[in-house]
Structure 1
Amino acid sequence: MPSGRALTGAAWAALVLSLWIWGQDGAPPPGTAAAPTTGDIAAAGRPPGIPLPPAHSPLAALEPRRVEIPSIGVAAPVVPRGLDDDGAVEPPPYETPETVGWYEDGAPPGAPGAALLVGHVDTETGPAVFYGLSAVRPGAEVAVTRSDGSVARFTVDDVQVLPRDGFDPRAAYGRRLPGRAELRLITCGGAFDRASGAYTANVVVSAYLSDASTDGSGR
Structure 2
Amino acid sequence: MSGHERPTGHGRFLTGLAWALLLVGLWLWGSEITDVRGGVSEPTNGDVAAVGRPFGVELPDAHEPLAPARPQRVDVPSLKVRAPVIARGLDQEGAIDPPSFEQAGDVGWYAGGTRPGAVGTSLFVGHVDTETRPAVFYDLSAVRPGEKVRVTRDDGSVAVFTVDDVQVLSRDRFDAKKAYGPHEKGRAELRLITCGGTFDRAARTYSANVVVSAYLTGVAP
Q: Distance in 2 between matches of 1:182 and 1:96?
A: 25
Residue of structure 2 equivalent to 1:153: 160
Selected match of 2:97 from 73, 90, 103: 90
Q: 1:194, CA displacement in angstroms?
A: 2.3
Q: 1:167, CA displacement in angstroms?
A: 1.7
The aligned runs of 1:116-135 (5 Å cut-off) are: 116-135=123-142
1:96-117 deviation digits (Å, cap 9, x = unpaired):
1100000111101100001000
Selected match of 1:15 from 18, 25, 40: 25
Give aligned pairs, total. 180
Q: Which amino acid aligns with 1:196?
A: A
Q: 1:191, CA displacement in angstroms?
A: 1.0
Q: Secondary structure at the match of 2:127?
A: coil
Q: 1:132, CA displacement in angstroms?
A: 0.3
Q: 1:16, CA displacement in angstroms?
A: 2.7
Residue 209 (str. 1) matches residue 216 (str. 2): yes
The aligned runs of 1:143-182 (5 Å cut-off) are: 143-182=150-189
Q: Secondary structure at the match of 2:78?
A: helix
Would the aligned equivalents of 1:186 and 1:202 in 2 still touch at CA under 8 Å? yes
Selected match of 2:67 from 56, 60, 71: 60
* Structure 2 segments unaligned to the other structure (5+ residues): 1-21, 29-48
Q: 1:49, CA displacement in angstroms?
A: 1.1
Q: Which amino acid aligns with 1:179?
A: G
Q: 1:87, CA displacement in angstroms?
A: 2.4
Structure 2 CA distance for partners of 1:190 and 1:13, relative to 1, 3 Å:
closer
Which deviates further from its counterpart, 80-89 or 174-183? 80-89
Q: Secondary structure at the match of 1:16?
A: helix
Of all paired residues, the percent bearing the same amino acid is 62
1:186-210 deviation digits (Å, cap 9, x = unpaired):
0011111222221110100000000
Would the aligned equivalents of 2:27 and 2:177 in 1 still touch at CA under 8 Å? no
Structure 2 CA distance for partners of 1:52 and 1:172, relative to 1, 3 Å:
same
Structure 2 CA distance for partners of 1:98 and 1:45, relative to 1, 3 Å:
same
* Structure 1 segments unaligned to the other structure (5+ residues): 1-11, 19-41
Structure 2 CA distance for partners of 1:53 and 1:17, relative to 1, 3 Å:
closer
Residue 185 (str. 1) matches residue 176 (str. 2): no
Q: Distance in 2 between matches of 1:166 and 1:64?
A: 32
Q: Which amino acid aligns with 1:15?
A: G
Q: CA RMSD in A?
A: 1.8
Q: Distance in 1 between matches of 2:191 and 2:73?
A: 15
Would the aligned equivalents of 1:185 and 1:204 in 2 still touch at CA under 8 Å? yes
Q: Distance in 2 between matches of 1:195 and 1:149?
A: 47
